[in-house]
Amino acid sequence: MRIAHSFLTIMPEKILPEAFVARIKGQRPDDADDFLRAISGDPWLSIRTNPFKPQESHLPVAMGDAVPWCSDGNYLNDRPLFTLIPQFHGGAFYVQEASSMSLSVALSVVTPLLPPHPTCLDLCAAPGGKATLLLSRIGQQGIVVANEVVRQRAWILRENIAKWGAPSAIVTNKKPDEIAASGVTFDLITVDAPCSGEGMFRKDQTAIDEWSPKAAADCATRQREILTSIWPALKTGGFLIYSTCTYNPDENERNVEWMVNELGAEIIKLHIPEGFGIETLQTSTGEAYAFYPHKVKGEGLFICLLRKVEDTIPQRPDTKKKGLQRIEIKESKQGTEYTNGLKVYLKGDELIGLPATLASAMTELTKALSPLMAGVPIGTVLKKNGTSVFTPAPELPLSAAFKSGSIPEVNLPEQQALKFLHGDSDLLLPDDAPDGWLVISHEGLRLGLVKVIGKRLNNYYPKEWRIKMNINR
């Protein structure tokens, strides 16, 4: 919805809301002009590579400088057409704005303080930028529940998490108070809150169009509601990383001060090298950090690490009132041959794989949160004419836990791989490709499944994931 307000201040290219410009001039009297001018510049483009995917596969994008605060982040000098890069679909990298990768800095401080197998929640996770970063850092030893409240966005999140391939991920579609009501608790919660989006003004005209002083004030109120709702789900002694992509102090500094004063949090310092250009903000309760458009190669962002020292909201929402139902899953002997290091469970008629070291905690989370995805979808077993028929899940070959060779694999050149991703059935397979289920890969990166019966090929790449544009360049 477009909100009517005055647009009187004309910058070189972008027209910014007058009230926003006035506030920035008050916030930063010394360098407001540089700040506002930078918003009219070109946005930076960056990607983050995936440690769960074969590192030898060549990425067909020309990497620029490294992102200083994130070891697997790189700027790109040119914008490629990502849709036509098979590695993009296979989860080899995630296109993520560089400032958002600052979660990496907070995680480098938090990770050594977490228990050996932490349970983490990314509360506002779609489309999945921060959740995939969390998985890169914590997914080897701990669980990451990636949650998104908006249903349609939750399915996109599920797609991106499935493609990232970390076996210890769970994807849910819950409201914050439903998660708290379920009784599960977390060692770490990240809240990348819905916000007024001022930090996106450089790359997103809609963020400018939708901004108003009232919308920004409403965001601050909603953020406190979200934080209040999820606070009971954070263990005492657990950590919360709060971030927004706005410059508004009411959504940033005032909210972390409020968490300290009202919720019983303390702020933990991050150690940020000065050369990064990230500004330290002194709040009345401790340090927070801000990315400003004229100081860093990235968009606007605010981040603060907090710890729950005491539980000041002892009342937990009543599970029965919220109507949360526990689901049943049980251990299964079927499907174990397709993965490494996973225990297999039957959830309805679906086989799912959970990392053996995390299986007991992940089954509890799965029962309590009825997720859209838990661990590795392996496939379904259905009885047909008295025999059990196994159909592998499209997500199975994308997982890092997939056992290589358990389903024969064919490596296709770029154009054929794009045809597969487009959903085509007339693929040119090698002459010696066997009948039955086949994993399709490109440059050693697994993309999905087809089934060959004689001359017929069925493409099992999910319809919602398929490339919609014309792939013939």
Interface residue list for ligand SAM (CB under 6 A): 100, 123-130, 148-150, 153, 176, 192, 194, 222, 226
Can 195 be counted among the known catalytic residues? no
Q: Which of 70, 120, 245, 304 is catalytic?
A: 245
Dist. CA 376–CA 386, nearest whole Å: 27
**Token couple for 321:** 């009132």
What minimum distance in Å lies between the beta carbon of 130 and ligand SAM? 4
**Token couple for 79:** 């914008």
Distance of CA 423 to the CA centre of its chain: 25
Q: Which is nearer to ligand SAM, 67 or 401 (CB)?
A: 67
Q: Which is nearer to ligand SAM, 68 or 129 (CB)?
A: 129
Q: Which is nearer to ligand SAM, 130 or 202 (CB)?
A: 130
Dist. CA 75–CA 78, nearest whole Å: 9
Instruction: Count CB neighbours of 356 within 10 A.
Output: 11
What minimum distance in Å lies between the beta carbon of 292 and ligand SAM? 18
Instruction: Give which of 271, 310, 308, 268 is closest to 285, Cα–Cα.
Output: 268
CB 131 within 8 A of CB 102: no
Amino acid in position 284? S
CB 17 within 8 A of CB 215: no
Q: Which is nearer to ligand SAM, 154 or 412 (CB)?
A: 154
Q: Where are the beta strands (DSSP E) in 219-269?
A: 234-244, 265-268
What minimum distance in Å lies between the beta carbon of 409 and ligand SAM? 31
What minimum distance in Å lies between the beta carbon of 128 and ligand SAM? 5
Q: Which is nearer to ligand SAM, 149 or 439 (CB)?
A: 149
CB 390 within 8 A of CB 335: yes
Instruction: Give which of 50, 31, 99, 88 is closest to 301, Cα–Cα.
Output: 99
| Backbone φ and ψ of 442, nearest 5° | -140, 125
What minimum distance in Å lies between the beta carbon of 220 and ligand SAM? 13
Instruction: Give which of 204, 200, 183, 248 is closest to 222, Cα–Cα.
Output: 248
Beta strand 436-442 with 409-411 is: parallel
What minimum distance in Å lies between the beta carbon of 226 and ligand SAM? 5
CB 27 within 8 A of CB 249: yes
Q: Residue 365 in 3-state DSSP?
A: helix
Burial of 451 (0-12, 13-18, 19+ CB in 10 A): middle
Q: What angle do CA 111, 116, 122 make, to 5 degrees?
A: 55
CB 339 within 8 A of CB 355: no
What minimum distance in Å lies between the beta carbon of 135 and ligand SAM? 12
Catalytic residue list: 245
